[in-house]
């Protein structure tokens, strides 16, 4: 067997593996837009949809109205 050919083949294989490793590391980097949100449960598309303080207050008031209306209907039935 030709020792130089074996060494050349092994170096070629090493370079190919190094390229594959670099691609995998790049895909796993924090800059990857496909990565999930911080809690691991949501997608990036939903990451920006957080309620503001005013939105939370408005939602709270609407839910209080909704439940008060249900209690009124339950009492009258």
35 vs 42: CA distance, rounded Å: 10
The vertex-27 CA angle with 10 and 31, nearest 5°, equals: 140
pLDDT in tens, 45-67: 556 678 899 999 999 999 999 99
pTM of the shown model: 0.37
Output the pLDDT for position 31.
65
The residue ranges of the chain whose pLDDT is under 50 are none
């Amino acid at each position: 067997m030709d020792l130089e050919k074996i060494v050349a083949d092994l170096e070629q294989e090493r370079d190919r593996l190094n390229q594959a490793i670099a691609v995998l590391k790049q895909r796993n980097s924090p800059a990857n837009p496909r990565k999930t949100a911080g809690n691991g449960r949501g997608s990036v598309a939903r990451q920006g949809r957080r309620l503001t303080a005013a939105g939370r207050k408005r939602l709270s008031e609407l839910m209080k109205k909704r439940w008060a209306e249900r209690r009124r209907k339950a009492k009258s039935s």
